């Protein structure tokens, strides 16, 4: 799906609702079904085409500009309402589809509550605002991603998952959310078993509208996984597809833990956001 040319049903619905609300405000609240025109007082007879039948006839509305304008506006309003109905159906369909995508994305059950609503903004206001801004303007994204680095438990994964959740729901984008450690283990096992799964995972990582890699650098990569990540990162770099990375390591340490070609591309296309502070997961136990 081409994010840049397709207007999401959500945006279309909101736009139509705005147009409808504007047009409703501009239409005067009057009863036009009167014997005289409410604008200019000219007579508005009821035309009965077949006298003697049960046909109740139609009122002949006035020809004056105000009445014609009123009728035009009403016609437009009916059309917009029809379009709105279709947009709502599309949005509903998209929501169901997004739920399915969400289940398949790997954001997983673990992150079901990892939305922006559940993140206390005041703990990490800057990181929160950047993350939210990224998610909200995702359809205009030109390949720039985010790299959240910093201490354990500052909410890096939470923000990454919140972004993923928001753009799946709002933009029906395809998201691949992977744990770095799991990819290393899974894909290696799959490749050595000649399983198709490894190729499929790599394919999804290359092509998803958004790729999230959680806990980058946790394990030292082997030459094999370096190769894999290089292929993925390089394709995404060239295709301007954004990535969100979280890592407990700072940029400096990451440069030592990753292959240089991978590292240099990542920092070229990801905005680095440092998150320092007390363990977010521990906050409930602290006074
Ligand atoms: Zn009139």
Q: Using the mean position of ligand 1's atoms as its centre, give its distance from the Cα of residue 230 in Å.
A: 73
Q: Using the mean position of ligand 1's atoms as its centre, give its distance from the Cα of residue 77 in Å.
A: 21
Of the candidates 250, 252, 232, 249, the residue with the CA atom closest to the CA atom of residue 241:
232
Q: What is the pLDDT of residue 51?
A: 62
Q: Using an 8 Å Cβ cutoff, are 239 and 142 in contact?
A: no
Q: Using the mean position of ligand 1's atoms as its centre, give its distance from the Cα of residue 43 in Å.
A: 8
Q: Using the mean position of ligand 1's atoms as its centre, give its distance from the Cα of residue 46 in Å.
A: 15
Q: Which two tokens stand for residue 268?
A: 């070229």
Q: What is the pLDDT of residue 272?
A: 93
Q: What is the pLDDT of residue 52?
A: 65
Q: Using the mean position of ligand 1's atoms as its centre, give its distance from the Cα of residue 36 in Å.
A: 8
Of the candidates 261, 176, 181, the residue with the CA atom closest to the CA atom of residue 221:
181
Q: What is the pLDDT of residue 119?
A: 87
Q: Using an 8 Å Cβ cutoff, are 233 and 244 in contact?
A: no
Q: What is the pLDDT of residue 281?
A: 52
Q: What is the pLDDT of residue 280?
A: 52
Q: Using the mean position of ligand 1's atoms as its centre, give its distance from the Cα of residue 62 in Å.
A: 5
Q: What is the pLDDT of residue 109?
A: 57
3-state secondary structure of 275: strand
CA distance to 35, 48, 137, per residue, from 55 (Å): 18, 7, 56
Between CA 47 and CA 54, with CA 51 as vertex, the angle to 5 degrees is 90
Q: What is the pLDDT of residue 1?
A: 42
Q: How many CA atoms lie within 13 A of 50 on its CB side?
A: 3
Q: What is the pLDDT of residue 112?
A: 66
**pLDDT tens by residue, the chain, 287 residues:** 444 434 677 788 999 999 999 999 999 999 999 999 999 999 999 887 766 666 677 889 999 999 999 999 999 999 999 999 999 988 888 778 777 777 777 776 567 677 898 888 888 899 999 999 999 999 888 899 999 998 888 889 999 999 998 998 888 788 998 888 888 887 777 777 777 777 888 888 999 999 999 999 888 778 877 888 899 999 999 999 999 999 999 988 988 888 888 899 999 999 999 988 765 555 444 43
Q: Using the mean position of ligand 1's atoms as its centre, give its distance from the Cα of residue 68 in Å.
A: 8
Q: What is the pLDDT of residue 110?
A: 60
Q: Using the mean position of ligand 1's atoms as its centre, give its distance from the Cα of residue 59 in Å.
A: 13
Q: Using the mean position of ligand 1's atoms as its centre, give its distance from the Cα of residue 79 in Å.
A: 24
How far, in Å, CA of 251 to CA of 60, rounded?
76
Q: What is the pLDDT of residue 144?
A: 92
Q: Using the mean position of ligand 1's atoms as its centre, give its distance from the Cα of residue 32 in Å.
A: 10
Q: What is the pLDDT of residue 208?
A: 93
Of the candidates 160, 137, 136, the residue with the CA atom closest to the CA atom of residue 148:
160
């Amino acid at each position: 799906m081409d994010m840049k040319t397709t207007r999401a049903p959500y945006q279309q619905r909101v736009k139509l609702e705005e147009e409808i609300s504007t047009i409703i405000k501009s239409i005067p609240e009057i009863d036009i079904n009167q014997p005289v025109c409410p604008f200019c007082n000219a007579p508005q007879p009821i035309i009965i085409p077949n006298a003697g039948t049960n046909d109740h006839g139609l009122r002949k509305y006035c020809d004056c500009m105000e009445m014609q304008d009123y009728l035009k506006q009403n016609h437009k309003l009916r059309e917009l309402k029809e379009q709105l109905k279709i947009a709502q159906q599309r949005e509903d369909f998209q929501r169901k589809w997004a739920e399915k995508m969400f289940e398949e994305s790997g954001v997983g059950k673990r992150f079901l509550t990892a939305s922006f609503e559940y993140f206390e903004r005041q703990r990490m206001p800057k990181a929160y605002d950047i993350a939210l801004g990224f998610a909200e303007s995702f359809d205009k994204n030109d390949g720039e991603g985010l790299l959240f680095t910093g201490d354990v438990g500052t909410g890096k994964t939470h923000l990454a998952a919140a972004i993923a959740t928001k753009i799946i729901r709002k933009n029906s984008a395809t998201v691949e959310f992977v744990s770095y450690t799991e990819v290393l283990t899974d894909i290696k096992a799959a490749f050595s078993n000649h399983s198709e799964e490894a190729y499929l995972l790599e394919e999804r990582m290359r092509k998803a509208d958004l790729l999230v890699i959680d806990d980058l650098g946790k394990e030292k990569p082997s030459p094999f996984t370096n190769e894999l990540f290089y292929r993925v990162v390089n394709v995404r770099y060239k295709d301007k597809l954004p990535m969100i990375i979280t890592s407990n390591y700072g940029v400096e340490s990451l440069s030592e833990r990753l292959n240089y070609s991978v590292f240099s591309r990542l920092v070229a296309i990801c905005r680095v956001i440092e998150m320092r502070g007390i363990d977010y997961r521990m906050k409930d136990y602290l006074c």
